[in-house]
Structure 1
Amino acid sequence: MKTKSMSLGLLMALLVTGATFAQQNSGSMSSGTATMVGKETKAEFDSQNKKGAAAVSAVAATPAKLSSADQNLMLEVAKGGMMQLEVSRVAVQKASSPEVRQFAQAEVDEQTGLSAKLQEIASAKGVILPSEPDAETQAIITKMQGASGSALDKMYMDESGVKGHEKLDKVMSTVVSTASDASLKGIGKAAHPLVKTHLKVAKQIEMKM
Protein backbone atom coordinates (compact mmCIF):
# COMPACT_ATOMS: atom_id res chain seq x y z
CA MET A 1 0.00 0.00 0.00
CA LYS A 2 2.89 2.28 0.89
CA THR A 3 4.52 1.71 -2.51
CA LYS A 4 1.23 2.30 -4.26
CA SER A 5 0.74 5.54 -2.32
CA MET A 6 4.26 6.73 -3.24
CA SER A 7 3.68 5.93 -6.91
CA LEU A 8 0.44 7.89 -6.86
CA GLY A 9 2.20 10.82 -5.21
CA LEU A 10 4.97 10.73 -7.82
CA LEU A 11 2.42 10.64 -10.62
CA MET A 12 0.59 13.67 -9.19
CA ALA A 13 3.89 15.56 -8.88
CA LEU A 14 4.75 14.84 -12.50
CA LEU A 15 1.31 15.99 -13.65
CA VAL A 16 1.63 19.26 -11.71
CA THR A 17 5.15 19.81 -13.07
CA GLY A 18 3.93 19.12 -16.60
CA ALA A 19 1.03 21.56 -16.20
CA THR A 20 3.37 24.26 -14.85
CA PHE A 21 5.79 23.74 -17.77
CA ALA A 22 2.91 23.99 -20.24
CA GLN A 23 1.74 27.25 -18.66
CA GLN A 24 5.26 28.69 -18.75
CA ASN A 25 5.70 27.60 -22.35
CA SER A 26 2.36 29.11 -23.28
CA GLY A 27 3.30 32.35 -21.53
CA SER A 28 6.57 32.53 -23.39
CA MET A 29 4.79 31.97 -26.71
CA SER A 30 2.36 34.77 -25.86
CA SER A 31 5.16 37.14 -24.91
CA GLY A 32 6.92 36.19 -28.16
CA THR A 33 3.87 37.32 -30.08
CA ALA A 34 3.83 40.58 -28.11
CA THR A 35 7.40 41.42 -29.11
CA MET A 36 6.64 41.83 -32.80
CA VAL A 37 7.41 45.26 -34.29
CA GLY A 38 5.64 45.47 -37.62
CA LYS A 39 6.33 42.11 -39.25
CA GLU A 40 9.69 41.64 -37.54
CA THR A 41 10.51 40.24 -34.12
CA LYS A 42 11.82 42.77 -31.63
CA ALA A 43 15.18 40.93 -31.69
CA GLU A 44 15.44 41.35 -35.49
CA PHE A 45 14.37 44.99 -35.25
CA ASP A 46 16.86 45.68 -32.43
CA SER A 47 19.65 44.02 -34.44
CA GLN A 48 19.04 46.33 -37.41
CA ASN A 49 18.94 49.35 -35.10
CA LYS A 50 22.29 48.40 -33.52
CA LYS A 51 23.85 47.85 -36.94
CA GLY A 52 22.64 51.28 -38.11
CA ALA A 53 23.86 52.99 -34.94
CA ALA A 54 27.30 51.42 -35.32
CA ALA A 55 27.53 52.58 -38.94
CA VAL A 56 26.66 56.17 -38.01
CA SER A 57 29.08 56.16 -35.07
CA ALA A 58 31.92 55.00 -37.34
CA VAL A 59 31.65 58.03 -39.68
CA ALA A 60 34.74 60.25 -39.36
CA ALA A 61 34.33 63.99 -38.78
CA THR A 62 36.72 65.79 -41.14
CA PRO A 63 37.56 69.52 -40.73
CA ALA A 64 37.07 70.33 -44.42
CA LYS A 65 34.68 73.26 -44.91
CA LEU A 66 31.26 72.53 -46.41
CA SER A 67 29.99 74.04 -49.65
CA SER A 68 26.78 76.04 -49.28
CA ALA A 69 24.85 73.17 -50.91
CA ASP A 70 26.29 70.61 -48.48
CA GLN A 71 25.64 72.92 -45.52
CA ASN A 72 21.99 73.21 -46.54
CA LEU A 73 21.77 69.42 -46.79
CA MET A 74 23.26 69.01 -43.33
CA LEU A 75 20.70 71.45 -41.93
CA GLU A 76 17.91 69.46 -43.60
CA VAL A 77 19.17 66.23 -42.03
CA ALA A 78 19.43 67.93 -38.62
CA LYS A 79 15.95 69.44 -38.92
CA GLY A 80 14.35 66.13 -39.92
CA GLY A 81 16.21 64.25 -37.23
CA MET A 82 15.18 66.70 -34.51
CA MET A 83 11.54 66.40 -35.56
CA GLN A 84 11.72 62.62 -35.30
CA LEU A 85 13.54 62.77 -31.97
CA GLU A 86 11.23 65.23 -30.19
CA VAL A 87 7.98 63.72 -31.45
CA SER A 88 9.18 60.20 -30.61
CA ARG A 89 10.03 61.26 -27.06
CA VAL A 90 6.38 62.20 -26.57
CA ALA A 91 5.27 58.85 -28.03
CA VAL A 92 7.57 56.89 -25.68
CA GLN A 93 5.80 58.53 -22.75
CA LYS A 94 2.21 58.57 -24.03
CA ALA A 95 1.65 55.78 -26.58
CA SER A 96 -0.89 53.16 -25.47
CA SER A 97 0.39 50.39 -27.78
CA PRO A 98 3.55 48.53 -26.62
CA GLU A 99 4.48 48.08 -30.29
CA VAL A 100 4.25 51.82 -30.94
CA ARG A 101 6.30 52.54 -27.81
CA GLN A 102 8.97 50.09 -28.96
CA PHE A 103 9.11 51.77 -32.36
CA ALA A 104 9.27 55.24 -30.76
CA GLN A 105 12.09 54.18 -28.42
CA ALA A 106 14.08 52.81 -31.37
CA GLU A 107 13.54 56.13 -33.11
CA VAL A 108 14.74 58.09 -30.06
CA ASP A 109 17.86 55.91 -29.89
CA GLU A 110 18.54 56.29 -33.62
CA GLN A 111 18.07 60.05 -33.72
CA THR A 112 20.05 60.64 -30.51
CA GLY A 113 23.03 58.88 -32.10
CA LEU A 114 22.58 60.67 -35.42
CA SER A 115 22.25 64.05 -33.70
CA ALA A 116 25.45 63.47 -31.73
CA LYS A 117 27.38 62.53 -34.87
CA LEU A 118 25.99 65.49 -36.82
CA GLN A 119 27.01 67.83 -34.00
CA GLU A 120 30.50 66.32 -33.98
CA ILE A 121 30.82 66.89 -37.74
CA ALA A 122 29.29 70.38 -37.55
CA SER A 123 31.70 71.40 -34.77
CA ALA A 124 34.67 70.18 -36.81
CA LYS A 125 33.50 72.27 -39.75
CA GLY A 126 32.35 75.37 -37.87
CA VAL A 127 28.65 74.88 -38.72
CA ILE A 128 25.91 75.81 -36.24
CA LEU A 129 22.98 73.37 -36.17
CA PRO A 130 19.48 74.24 -34.88
CA SER A 131 19.14 73.69 -31.11
CA GLU A 132 15.34 73.77 -30.88
CA PRO A 133 12.46 72.20 -32.85
CA ASP A 134 10.99 74.36 -35.62
CA ALA A 135 7.39 75.62 -35.59
CA GLU A 136 6.10 72.65 -37.61
CA THR A 137 7.58 70.14 -35.17
CA GLN A 138 6.33 72.08 -32.16
CA ALA A 139 2.81 72.09 -33.64
CA ILE A 140 2.89 68.27 -33.96
CA ILE A 141 4.17 67.94 -30.38
CA THR A 142 1.34 70.15 -29.12
CA LYS A 143 -1.25 68.06 -31.00
CA MET A 144 0.20 64.84 -29.60
CA GLN A 145 0.26 66.16 -26.05
CA GLY A 146 -3.46 66.88 -26.37
CA ALA A 147 -4.24 63.37 -27.66
CA SER A 148 -4.28 59.96 -25.97
CA GLY A 149 -4.93 56.25 -26.57
CA SER A 150 -5.23 54.88 -30.08
CA ALA A 151 -5.72 58.40 -31.52
CA LEU A 152 -2.27 59.41 -30.29
CA ASP A 153 -0.73 56.15 -31.51
CA LYS A 154 -2.13 56.67 -35.01
CA MET A 155 -1.13 60.34 -35.07
CA TYR A 156 2.45 59.46 -34.16
CA MET A 157 2.76 56.63 -36.67
CA ASP A 158 1.32 58.85 -39.41
CA GLU A 159 3.28 62.05 -38.68
CA SER A 160 6.61 60.57 -37.60
CA GLY A 161 6.55 56.91 -38.58
CA VAL A 162 5.45 57.41 -42.18
CA LYS A 163 5.50 61.09 -43.24
CA GLY A 164 8.61 61.95 -41.21
CA HIS A 165 10.54 58.99 -42.60
CA GLU A 166 9.38 59.67 -46.15
CA LYS A 167 10.91 63.16 -45.84
CA LEU A 168 14.12 61.79 -44.33
CA ASP A 169 14.28 59.12 -47.03
CA LYS A 170 14.27 61.82 -49.72
CA VAL A 171 16.84 63.95 -47.87
CA MET A 172 19.18 60.99 -47.32
CA SER A 173 18.85 59.96 -50.97
CA THR A 174 19.90 63.48 -51.99
CA VAL A 175 22.81 63.45 -49.53
CA VAL A 176 24.10 60.12 -50.85
CA SER A 177 23.79 61.14 -54.51
CA THR A 178 24.87 64.80 -54.43
CA ALA A 179 26.93 65.62 -51.30
CA SER A 180 30.59 66.29 -52.04
CA ASP A 181 31.83 66.29 -48.43
CA ALA A 182 33.07 62.88 -47.27
CA SER A 183 31.67 63.15 -43.74
CA LEU A 184 28.24 64.24 -44.89
CA LYS A 185 28.08 61.60 -47.60
CA GLY A 186 29.19 59.06 -44.98
CA ILE A 187 26.26 60.06 -42.76
CA GLY A 188 23.88 59.54 -45.66
CA LYS A 189 25.24 56.10 -46.51
CA ALA A 190 25.29 55.01 -42.87
CA ALA A 191 21.85 56.28 -41.84
CA HIS A 192 19.80 55.77 -45.00
CA PRO A 193 19.33 51.97 -44.66
CA LEU A 194 17.88 52.37 -41.15
CA VAL A 195 15.62 55.20 -42.30
CA LYS A 196 14.25 52.85 -44.95
CA THR A 197 13.81 50.07 -42.38
CA HIS A 198 11.91 52.35 -40.01
CA LEU A 199 9.69 53.58 -42.84
CA LYS A 200 8.86 49.99 -43.84
CA VAL A 201 8.12 48.95 -40.25
CA ALA A 202 6.07 52.11 -39.63
CA LYS A 203 3.83 51.29 -42.59
CA GLN A 204 3.42 47.73 -41.29
CA ILE A 205 2.40 48.97 -37.85
CA GLU A 206 0.00 51.51 -39.34
CA MET A 207 -1.64 48.79 -41.42
CA LYS A 208 -2.61 47.00 -38.19
CA MET A 209 -4.42 50.07 -36.86
Structure 2
Amino acid sequence: MPFDAPQSGRRGRQAKCALAAALLCLTTGLSAAPPAGDVDFMNKAAQAGQMEIDASKLAETKASSATVKRFAGQMLQDHRAAAEDLKRLANAKGVQLPTTPSPADQKKLEAMGALQGASFDKQYAEEVGVKAHNEAVALFRKAASDARANDVRDFAKKTLTTLEHHLESARKMASEVAR
Protein backbone atom coordinates (compact mmCIF):
# COMPACT_ATOMS: atom_id res chain seq x y z
CA MET A 1 0.00 0.00 0.00
CA PRO A 2 2.66 2.57 0.79
CA PHE A 3 3.85 2.20 -2.79
CA ASP A 4 0.34 2.89 -4.20
CA ALA A 5 -0.17 6.12 -2.29
CA PRO A 6 2.64 8.09 -4.01
CA GLN A 7 1.53 6.72 -7.37
CA SER A 8 -2.01 8.04 -7.04
CA GLY A 9 -0.51 11.39 -6.01
CA ARG A 10 1.54 11.33 -9.19
CA ARG A 11 -1.60 10.59 -11.22
CA GLY A 12 -3.32 13.51 -9.58
CA ARG A 13 -0.42 15.80 -10.50
CA GLN A 14 -0.44 14.44 -14.05
CA ALA A 15 -4.18 15.07 -14.32
CA LYS A 16 -3.71 18.62 -13.00
CA CYS A 17 -0.89 19.22 -15.49
CA ALA A 18 -3.01 17.87 -18.33
CA LEU A 19 -5.90 20.09 -17.26
CA ALA A 20 -3.60 23.13 -17.06
CA ALA A 21 -2.21 22.35 -20.51
CA ALA A 22 -5.73 22.04 -21.94
CA LEU A 23 -6.75 25.36 -20.38
CA LEU A 24 -3.61 26.99 -21.73
CA CYS A 25 -4.44 25.73 -25.21
CA LEU A 26 -7.99 27.04 -24.93
CA THR A 27 -6.99 30.48 -23.69
CA THR A 28 -4.21 30.75 -26.27
CA GLY A 29 -6.74 29.91 -28.97
CA LEU A 30 -9.07 32.62 -27.72
CA SER A 31 -6.35 35.26 -27.67
CA ALA A 32 -5.44 34.40 -31.27
CA ALA A 33 -8.58 36.19 -32.45
CA PRO A 34 -7.63 39.53 -34.02
CA PRO A 35 -8.16 42.64 -31.90
CA ALA A 36 -11.56 44.29 -32.37
CA GLY A 37 -9.99 47.50 -33.70
CA ASP A 38 -8.15 45.57 -36.42
CA VAL A 39 -11.34 43.74 -37.40
CA ASP A 40 -13.26 47.03 -37.49
CA PHE A 41 -10.60 48.53 -39.77
CA MET A 42 -10.70 45.52 -42.12
CA ASN A 43 -14.50 45.67 -42.31
CA LYS A 44 -14.56 49.42 -43.01
CA ALA A 45 -11.76 49.09 -45.55
CA ALA A 46 -13.65 46.32 -47.36
CA GLN A 47 -16.87 48.36 -47.52
CA ALA A 48 -15.09 51.53 -48.64
CA GLY A 49 -13.14 49.66 -51.29
CA GLN A 50 -16.29 47.99 -52.61
CA MET A 51 -18.03 51.36 -52.85
CA GLU A 52 -15.18 52.70 -54.97
CA ILE A 53 -15.24 49.63 -57.18
CA ASP A 54 -19.02 49.84 -57.69
CA ALA A 55 -18.92 53.61 -58.36
CA SER A 56 -16.04 53.19 -60.79
CA LYS A 57 -17.98 50.51 -62.69
CA LEU A 58 -20.80 53.07 -63.04
CA ALA A 59 -18.28 55.61 -64.34
CA GLU A 60 -17.30 53.29 -67.17
CA THR A 61 -20.75 53.79 -68.74
CA LYS A 62 -22.08 57.04 -67.25
CA ALA A 63 -19.10 59.40 -67.34
CA SER A 64 -18.57 61.76 -70.24
CA SER A 65 -15.11 63.05 -69.25
CA ALA A 66 -12.09 61.12 -70.48
CA THR A 67 -10.32 62.14 -67.26
CA VAL A 68 -13.09 60.62 -65.14
CA LYS A 69 -13.05 57.42 -67.18
CA ARG A 70 -9.26 57.13 -66.84
CA PHE A 71 -9.46 57.74 -63.11
CA ALA A 72 -12.25 55.16 -62.77
CA GLY A 73 -10.18 52.59 -64.67
CA GLN A 74 -7.27 53.17 -62.31
CA MET A 75 -9.61 52.86 -59.31
CA LEU A 76 -10.93 49.54 -60.56
CA GLN A 77 -7.43 48.17 -61.03
CA ASP A 78 -6.00 49.43 -57.73
CA HIS A 79 -9.01 48.82 -55.49
CA ARG A 80 -9.56 45.30 -56.83
CA ALA A 81 -5.91 44.49 -56.06
CA ALA A 82 -6.21 45.98 -52.56
CA ALA A 83 -9.47 44.07 -52.01
CA GLU A 84 -7.70 40.80 -52.87
CA ASP A 85 -4.84 41.61 -50.48
CA LEU A 86 -7.34 42.49 -47.75
CA LYS A 87 -9.31 39.31 -48.39
CA ARG A 88 -6.17 37.16 -48.02
CA LEU A 89 -5.28 38.98 -44.79
CA ALA A 90 -8.79 38.60 -43.37
CA ASN A 91 -8.98 34.91 -44.33
CA ALA A 92 -5.68 34.25 -42.56
CA LYS A 93 -7.16 35.81 -39.44
CA GLY A 94 -10.53 34.07 -39.72
CA VAL A 95 -12.37 37.35 -40.39
CA GLN A 96 -15.39 37.33 -42.71
CA LEU A 97 -15.45 40.64 -44.60
CA PRO A 98 -18.58 42.39 -45.86
CA THR A 99 -19.03 42.14 -49.62
CA THR A 100 -21.17 45.25 -50.11
CA PRO A 101 -20.71 48.94 -49.39
CA SER A 102 -22.17 50.42 -46.21
CA PRO A 103 -25.89 51.31 -46.36
CA ALA A 104 -25.02 55.04 -46.57
CA ASP A 105 -22.63 54.42 -49.47
CA GLN A 106 -25.24 52.20 -51.13
CA LYS A 107 -27.64 55.17 -51.17
CA LYS A 108 -24.92 57.39 -52.69
CA LEU A 109 -24.35 54.79 -55.40
CA GLU A 110 -28.06 54.63 -56.19
CA ALA A 111 -28.23 58.42 -56.48
CA MET A 112 -25.13 58.45 -58.66
CA GLY A 113 -26.61 55.75 -60.86
CA ALA A 114 -29.45 58.10 -61.79
CA LEU A 115 -26.98 60.66 -63.19
CA GLN A 116 -25.39 60.83 -66.61
CA GLY A 117 -22.65 62.78 -68.37
CA ALA A 118 -21.30 66.00 -66.81
CA SER A 119 -23.55 65.80 -63.74
CA PHE A 120 -22.30 62.25 -63.11
CA ASP A 121 -18.70 63.39 -63.62
CA LYS A 122 -19.00 66.13 -60.99
CA GLN A 123 -20.74 63.86 -58.47
CA TYR A 124 -18.27 61.01 -59.00
CA ALA A 125 -15.27 63.37 -58.74
CA GLU A 126 -16.53 64.87 -55.48
CA GLU A 127 -18.08 61.82 -53.76
CA VAL A 128 -15.78 59.04 -54.90
CA GLY A 129 -12.70 60.92 -55.92
CA VAL A 130 -12.23 63.49 -53.18
CA LYS A 131 -14.58 62.72 -50.29
CA ALA A 132 -14.23 58.92 -50.26
CA HIS A 133 -10.46 59.14 -50.62
CA ASN A 134 -10.19 61.71 -47.82
CA GLU A 135 -12.07 59.27 -45.60
CA ALA A 136 -10.02 56.30 -46.78
CA VAL A 137 -6.73 58.10 -46.22
CA ALA A 138 -7.82 58.97 -42.66
CA LEU A 139 -8.95 55.37 -42.01
CA PHE A 140 -5.74 53.83 -43.35
CA ARG A 141 -3.49 56.40 -41.70
CA LYS A 142 -5.05 55.56 -38.32
CA ALA A 143 -4.66 51.81 -38.93
CA ALA A 144 -1.06 52.29 -40.11
CA SER A 145 -0.21 53.63 -36.67
CA ASP A 146 -2.81 52.01 -34.38
CA ALA A 147 -3.39 48.47 -35.71
CA ARG A 148 -2.21 45.92 -33.17
CA ALA A 149 -1.30 43.15 -35.62
CA ASN A 150 1.85 43.76 -37.66
CA ASP A 151 0.35 42.36 -40.87
CA VAL A 152 -2.71 44.61 -40.57
CA ARG A 153 -0.49 47.63 -39.91
CA ASP A 154 1.73 46.69 -42.90
CA PHE A 155 -1.30 46.34 -45.19
CA ALA A 156 -2.57 49.75 -44.10
CA LYS A 157 0.84 51.40 -44.66
CA LYS A 158 1.28 49.80 -48.09
CA THR A 159 -2.21 50.74 -49.25
CA LEU A 160 -2.04 54.24 -47.76
CA THR A 161 0.60 55.28 -50.30
CA THR A 162 -1.71 54.35 -53.17
CA LEU A 163 -4.71 56.06 -51.55
CA GLU A 164 -2.77 59.28 -51.06
CA HIS A 165 -1.86 59.22 -54.75
CA HIS A 166 -5.54 58.62 -55.61
CA LEU A 167 -6.56 61.61 -53.50
CA GLU A 168 -4.07 63.85 -55.29
CA SER A 169 -5.34 62.66 -58.68
CA ALA A 170 -8.95 63.03 -57.53
CA ARG A 171 -8.42 66.66 -56.57
CA LYS A 172 -7.05 67.40 -60.04
CA MET A 173 -9.94 65.52 -61.66
CA ALA A 174 -12.54 67.36 -59.54
CA SER A 175 -10.98 70.70 -60.46
CA GLU A 176 -11.12 69.79 -64.15
CA VAL A 177 -14.74 68.60 -64.21
CA ALA A 178 -15.95 71.54 -62.09
CA ARG A 179 -15.19 73.97 -64.94
Which of residues 174, 179, 191 in structure 1 aligns to 2:147? 179
Give the total of aligned pairs: 146
What runs of 5+ residues in structure 2 fail to find an aligned partner?
1-31
How does the TM-score come out when normalised to structure 2?
0.78
Q: Which runs of 5+ in 1 are unaligned?
A: 1-63
User: 1:4-55 CA deviation, whole Å, 9 max, x = no partner?
Assistant: xxxxxxxxxxxxxxxxxxxxxxxxxxxxxxxxxxxxxxxxxxxxxxxxxxxx
TM-score (norm 1): 0.67
Q: Distance in 2 between matches of 1:179 and 1:123?
A: 17
Which whole-Å CA distance do the structure 2 matches of 1:146 and 1:70 have between them?
35
Checking the alignment, whether the CA contact within 8 Å between 1:87 and 1:137 is kept in structure 2 is no
One-letter amino acid of the structure 1 residue matched with residue 43 of structure 2: L
Q: Which runs of 4+ in 1 moved over 2 A?
A: none
Aligned twin of 1:144: 112
Match of 2:160 among 192, 195, 201: 192
Within 5 Å, which residues of 2 pair with 1:153-168?
Answer: 153-168=121-136
Give, in whole Å, the separation in 1 of the partners of 2:163 and 2:108: 20
State the Cα distance separating 1:191 from its structure 2 match: 0.7
Q: Distance in 2 between matches of 1:136 and 1:201?
A: 24
Residues 33-72 of structure 1 aligned to structure 2 (within 5 Å) = 65-72=33-40
The answer to whether the 8 A contact 2:48-2:102 is kept is: no
Q: Distance in 2 between matches of 1:69 and 1:148?
A: 39
Shift of 1:149: 1.0
Give the deviation of 1:93 after TM superposition: 2.0
> What is the distance in 2 between the residues matched to 1:78 and 1:203?
23
SS in 1 for 2:90: helix
Distance in 2 (CA, whole Å) between partners of 1:153 and 1:125 is 38
Question: Percent identity, aligned pairs only?
Answer: 28
CA–CA distance in structure 2, aligned partners of residues 151 and 75 of structure 1 = 31
Rg (Cα) greater in structure: 2
Superposition CA RMSD, Å: 1.2
